[in-house]
Structure 1
């Protein structure tokens, strides 16, 4: 099965995309310097307002939010859509600033920004009914309700693809969490919590997109082997026991904060 075009672009680090060193909206937002409109919230205030507001997070796609750069005296205000999970490609909003290589480098060297990036990821894990637990993912107490939401609102599958690409762009800090998230959903399928049967939208997303969101060839091969052998829904081929064993063998990797 051939890979989707956007995945090939991702795996090859977007060879046709020319970096823009002057674009820094994503970095400014995660530096808590760039406010969002219409609420006029910077990052910290945004998270205080919406961290566990799952109705708001479902209704509004904060992958592409509108920010306002501070104007100089001789210019007009510049409106720039950005997202909680910036990636190096345009999404559904063509005006959103893609993540730039110089932003990635600066983010990975700033502990405060890394803490905010991880906080955004944990927020969305909560939205999907998942506890972070130091990097080892577990079903949250409300996981059935949250998985019902994922089951009934298919656009969340696309959101997860973006989150996985975002994690994988931060290769030295957040990328290891991407494999854990994909294999968590393999275990959820095997345990009968959420189906990722082959040929369905969720199954195809896992097979063609999610299992390919790793630039490290060895990791990509290992995750794909598990995904391909996941078995039927609820048959416990690769469930929580196997996930725990995989995580313990690999060990804790990736930035997990203080």
Structure 2
């Protein structure tokens, strides 16, 4: 099995560990090495260990297989050895990767790239001129000045009529043929969506939105409404602390049955980071990590929480802390692929007195504040 040092590189498109600094990611350093300034792809350096294993295997074959004809030329012997070696090499490489990564051998690279582009402010994105010429449709929607298209629902109507009527919410809004447009209206992003009726955020609109207390208050209402749909409640609007709602069992059942909710949660997390609620990201992500890895309640959400939710956090320090939190509660640590091996070794060396503290979700469930008291991260 490869040594820990052979696995010491960060996955491609993930700058979480590109330096020892705990500063936030910036739009300018997305694809550059922090130490050299040169373009960098963050990828696992697994090749050396595999090659070393291959060479060892070749030596074993050559030593164990006697020469059948001492008069063979060196060329003939090389061809013979290579022919005998090829099947072994295939198994050797396959087994090496299985040993190194387990049955789930690769991180979701599409997710890693998507979340890194988001965290670094979409460095190559050119804003749609048509969207730029629109009079800030997303902001006007949240100022209750214009309804969504094509359903004609205003934000105030949505908040008042759909707040706890989840059947109506699913039937007429979230599962309509214009679902992606509706979610894009509630939680707009800079990246292109799946519905032409939705308009992407522009940088100008984002700044205006962040300066509008009216719009921001309504965004919090939308956030609380969707949290309720998922069986979660916002405890503190200042810190973003969340916990299980009283109806969590019913709503968790919906989350486990319908994996498309994971896409919506990813959109919500991204939107929070764009519109002035970046501090809401980490509490919600930690909540999902606790529910999936510790309390084992949301199996269908687990991989989205690790691939997408965790890497939506723009605060690099908090993101690193939650990666460590995820690692410490991940059962098959040899299969943990969301940070380099050397970082995992650092986690192991740390004194973690809260490691044996058992978190339980009884009653209304643990809040993120209560989990923090239980864990020494």
Same fold (TM over 0.5): yes
Q: TM-score, normalised by structure 2?
A: 0.54
Work out which of the residue numbers 326, 331, 336 in structure 2 matches 1:227. 326
Q: Going by fraction, where is helix more abundant, 1 or 2?
A: 2
Work out which of the residue numbers 155, 160, 175 in structure 1 matches 2:278. 175
Partner in structure 1 of residue 124 of structure 2: 16
Superposed CA offset, 1:38-82 (max 9, x none): 5422211222121222123333335523xxxxxxxxxxxxxxx95
Asked if 2 retains the 8 angstrom alpha-carbon contact of 1:108 and 1:114, the reply is yes
Within the alignment, does 1:92 sit opposite 2:194 as a pair?
yes
Partner in structure 2 of residue 243 of structure 1: 368
Q: Going by fraction, where is strand more abundant, 1 or 2?
A: 1
Secondary structure of the structure 2 residue equivalent to 1:96: coil
CA distance in 2 between counterparts of 1:166 and 1:210 reads 12
Cα distance, 1:22 vs structure 2: 2.2
Partner in structure 2 of residue 194 of structure 1: 298
Partner in structure 2 of residue 143 of structure 1: 248
Superposed CA offset, 1:150-203 (max 9, x none): 000110011111111111112xx31111111111112212123223xxxxx633
Asked if 2 retains the 8 angstrom alpha-carbon contact of 1:157 and 1:202, the reply is yes
Quote the RMSD (CA, aligned, Å): 2.7
Question: Structure 2: where are the runs of 5+ without partners?
Answer: 1-10, 13-108, 333-355
Partner in structure 2 of residue 130 of structure 1: 232
Asked if 2 retains the 8 angstrom alpha-carbon contact of 1:187 and 1:239, the reply is no
Higher relative contact order (CA 8 A, sep 6+): 2
Q: TM-score, normalised by structure 1?
A: 0.78
Partner in structure 2 of residue 64 of structure 1: 181
Within the alignment, does 1:103 sit opposite 2:220 as a pair?
no
Asked if 2 retains the 8 angstrom alpha-carbon contact of 1:63 and 1:85, the reply is no
Secondary structure of the structure 1 residue equivalent to 2:187: coil
Aligned length: 226
Question: Structure 1: where are the runs of 5+ without partners?
Answer: 66-80, 196-200, 250-258
Within the alignment, does 1:32 sit opposite 2:144 as a pair?
yes
